[in-house]
Amino acid sequence: MTYRPQAPVPLPRAILLATAAAFAAVALSHLVGWAVSQYLEALHTTPDANIGAGLALLLLPVPLAPVLVWPLVRMVRLPYPALTALAVALPYLLSAMGVWQLCMSFTDPAPPFVSVGFLAVADALALTVVLAATAVLTTRHHARALRDR
SS3 letters across the chain = CCCCCCCCCCHHHHHHHHHHHHHHHHHHHHHHHHHHHHHHHHHCCCCCCCHHHHHHHHHCHHHHHHHHHHHHHHHCCCCCHHHHHHHHHHHHHHHHHHHHHHHHCCCCCCCCCCCHHHHHHHHHHHHHHHHHHHHHHHHHHHHHHHHHC
Q: Which pLDDT score, from 0 to 100, does residue 5 have? A: 61
Q: Which pLDDT score, from 0 to 100, does residue 90 have? A: 93
Task: Compute the distance between CA of residue 114 and CA of residue 103 in angstroms, rounded to an integer.
Answer: 6
Model pTM greater than 0.95? no
Per-residue pLDDT of the chain (149 residues; tens, 9 = 90+): 455 666 778 888 889 999 999 999 999 999 998 888 888 888 877 766 677 777 777 788 889 999 999 999 988 888 888 888 999 999 999 998 888 787 777 655 655 556 778 888 888 999 999 999 999 999 888 888 878 87
